Amino acid sequence: MSPITLIKISLRALLRNRMRTFLSVLGIVIGVAAVITMVAMGEGSKKSIKEQMTAMGTNAIIIMPNRDRRGGVQTESTESLEEADVIAIRENATYINGVSPMMTVNGQAIVGNNNSPTALSGVSADYLKIRNYEIEDGVMFDDEADRMAKVCVIGQTVIKNLFPGVDPIGKTIRYKSIPLKVIGTLKTKGSGDFGQDQDDVIFTPYQTVMKRFSATTNIRQIYANSIGEGYAEKATEEIMGILKERRSWTKPTDPFRVFTQEEMIQMVTSTSDLLSLVLTAIAGISLFVGGIGIMNIMYVSVTERTKEIGLRMAIGARGRDILLQFLFESVIISLLGGAIGIALGIAASEIVKNFMNWPMSVSITSVIVSFGVCFATGVFFGWYPARKASRLDPIEALRFE
Q: In the range 10-49, which residues lie near other proteins by CB under 8 A?
A: 12, 16
> Closest Cα partner for 397 from 327, 286, 303, 256?
303
> Closest Cα partner for 93 from 234, 271, 250, 267?
234
> Closest Cα partner for 90 from 247, 255, 243?
243
For residues 238 and 95, what is the distance between their CA atoms, to the nearest angstrom?
8
For residues 191 and 197, what is the distance between their CA atoms, to the nearest angstrom?
4
Considering only residues 2, 74, 78, 113, which one is a binding residue for other proteins as defined by CB under 8 A?
A: 2
Burial class (CB in 10 A: 0-12, 13-18, 19+), 300: middle
The residue (of 36 and 317) whose beta carbon lies closer to other proteins is 317
**What type of residue sits at position 111?**
V
* 9 sits near other proteins (criterion: CB under 8 A): yes
> Closest Cα partner for 321 from 10, 85, 103, 34?
10
The residue (of 9 and 222) whose beta carbon lies closer to other proteins is 9
- CB atoms under 10 Å from CB of 65, counted, come to 19
Shortest distance in whole angstroms from residue 393 CB to other proteins: 8
Considering only residues 320, 347, 365, 368, which one is a binding residue for other proteins as defined by CB under 8 A?
A: 320
Considering only residues 71, 170, 252, 316, which one is a binding residue for other proteins as defined by CB under 8 A?
A: 316
The residue (of 2 and 113) whose beta carbon lies closer to other proteins is 2
* 1 sits near other proteins (criterion: CB under 8 A): yes
* 318 sits near other proteins (criterion: CB under 8 A): yes
Shortest distance in whole angstroms from residue 320 CB to other proteins: 7
**What type of residue sits at position 385?**
P
Helix (H) or strand (E) holding 84: helix 83-92
For residues 335 and 331, what is the distance between their CA atoms, to the nearest angstrom?
6
Q: Which residues pair with 120 in a beta bridge?
A: 105, 202
For residues 154 and 148, what is the distance between their CA atoms, to the nearest angstrom?
17
The interaxial angle of helices 261-304 and 306-314, nearest 10 deg, is 70
The residue (of 17 and 361) whose beta carbon lies closer to other proteins is 17
The residue (of 9 and 96) whose beta carbon lies closer to other proteins is 9
Q: In the range 286-315, which residues lie near other proteins by CB under 8 A?
A: 307-308, 310-315
Q: Helices in 196-318 by DSSP H: which ranges?
A: 206-208, 232-247, 261-304, 306-314
The residue (of 258 and 313) whose beta carbon lies closer to other proteins is 313
User: In degrees rounded to 5, what are phi and psi of residue 151?
Assistant: -130, 165
The residue (of 197 and 308) whose beta carbon lies closer to other proteins is 308
CB 96 within 8 A of CB 89: yes
The residue (of 261 and 301) whose beta carbon lies closer to other proteins is 301
Candidates 5-13, 30-38, 158-166, 277-285; binding stretch for other proteins (CB under 8 A): 5-13
Candidates 1-9, 190-198, 282-290, 378-386; binding stretch for other proteins (CB under 8 A): 1-9
* 347 sits near other proteins (criterion: CB under 8 A): no
Candidates 9-17, 71-79, 93-101, 261-269; binding stretch for other proteins (CB under 8 A): 9-17
The residue (of 73 and 315) whose beta carbon lies closer to other proteins is 315
Considering only residues 321, 361, 371, 387, which one is a binding residue for other proteins as defined by CB under 8 A?
A: 321
Q: In the range 380-399, which residues lie near other proteins by CB under 8 A?
A: 394-395, 398
Shortest distance in whole angstroms from residue 44 CB to other proteins: 46
Which residues contribute to the site for other proteins (CB under 8 A)? 1-2, 5, 9, 12, 16, 307-308, 310-321, 394-395, 398
